[in-house]
Structure 1
Amino acid sequence: MAERAYGAIIFDFEGTLVDFQWRLEPAEVELRFAFAALGFGGDDFAQGNYATMWNAAADWFAPRGRMAELRQALAPIYDRWDLDALNRWAPRPGAAKLLRRFAAGGLAVAMVSNVGRSALAGALERFDFVECLLPVVSRDEVTYMKPRAEGIFRVLAQWQLAADEVLFVGDSRADVFAARAAGMPVAIIRGGECAESAFAEHPPDYMISQLSELVELLERGPGARAGWFPGDRVG
């Protein structure tokens, strides 16, 4: 096999290894009311999404050592919408087989997800992903969700790898922003949380349509990125 372009890979979960099933509109309406009840308003909350609203609130709670209060008030709402999505999640074609192939080939494989620990643990077990991913960082292990890079930095610290040695694979603008904040190349798979047009201003390094395309991408060698443009497809 050719020398790998990357020594490790970090996956997002929902929209990437499984389909996207979070019901964003009603969930974010409920979350805005909940954040307002805590005294939060303004553009960060009127225009923010489930992740950026949490991060904006955490910017106030975390420096004061009061994150437990934010989790107590808001985590049950996030968890409930996770569990709602859990009822409908289905794996992307070939996801478990791909993870096993990477793990068996000695590739370090991890996950950083904005989904909470409870729903994520059940889903990873159900879809036979759990033994292939180490570590798994859910939103419950971090102060800030993606698009912040905290979860990615936790994985890099555990692996003791440089960011440019690792590929992040996701489906959303938040994944692109988090990977960029960590200094990491990023591949986006179509058909997840964000439409392809959403990446026009902030394109990923790679745009793929099937998880299986990652095999050739990782095996192209250190020069793989040269001449590889977003929208190109392996094959």
Structure 2
Amino acid sequence: MDKKENSRNLGWRPKAYLFDFEGTLVTFEWNLKEGMAAMLKGIVSSGYSLEKLKKTPSYVNIHDYASEIKEQNKESTIMDIINNIFDQFDADALTRWSLNPCAKSTS
């Protein structure tokens, strides 16, 4: 049974799908400085150099570098480390999120 059939059988269908970037509908609460430091520390503790990164790398720079490492070494767990750190800081931000004042209620 495919998902469409399954949703019909349950009598439930989504009315909308919502994708949000933090800072649009909810306030930006990610602890950027600590999160970036944790990701850089994760790279170093995995035995990789930060030499290829800019002096003040962005999350995108760090993610691209980790992806490059993973591509060159399929056994590397660097992406797991980066993703786990990102998930921890997302969970932390979730504890402080509030509806952005300019967001409108649909109810």
Is TM (by shorter chain) over 0.5?
yes
**Against the structure 1 CA distance between its residues 22 and 57, is the aligned structure 2 distance closer, same or farther, given a 3 Å change threshold?**
same
* Selected match of 2:99 from 91, 104, 110: 91
What SS class does the counterpart of residue 53 from structure 2 fall into? helix
Determine the C-alpha separation between the residues in 2 that align with 1:78 and 1:45.
20
Letter in 1 for 2:58: N
Question: Unpaired runs of 5+ in structure 2?
Answer: 1-17
- Asked if the contact 2:53/2:61 (under 8 Å) is kept, the reply is yes
Deviations 1:114-137 (A, max 9, x none): xxxxxxxxxxxxxxxxxxxxxxxx
Corresponding residue of 1:56: 65
Corresponding residue of 2:82: 74
- Per the normalisation by structure 2, the TM-score is 0.64
Deviations 1:85-135 (A, max 9, x none): 0001112233553xx9xxxxxxxxxxxxxxxxxxxxxxxxxxxxxxxxxxx
Specify which structure has the higher proportion of strand: 1
Deviations 1:41-71 (A, max 9, x none): 125254212232012110221354447x223
Say how many residue pairs are matched.
Answer: 88
Q: Give every structure 1 segment of 4 or more consecutive aligned residues whose post-TM-superposition deviation is greater than 4 Å.
A: none
Letter in 2 for 1:20: F
**Against the structure 1 CA distance between its residues 60 and 15, is the aligned structure 2 distance closer, same or farther, given a 3 Å change threshold?**
same
* Larger RCO (CA under 8 A, 6+ residues apart): 2
Question: Unpaired runs of 5+ in structure 1?
Answer: 1-9, 101-235
* Selected match of 2:43 from 18, 35, 43: 35
Matches within 5 A, 1:46-195: 46-62=55-71, 64-66=73-75, 69-92=77-100, 93-95=102-104, 97=106
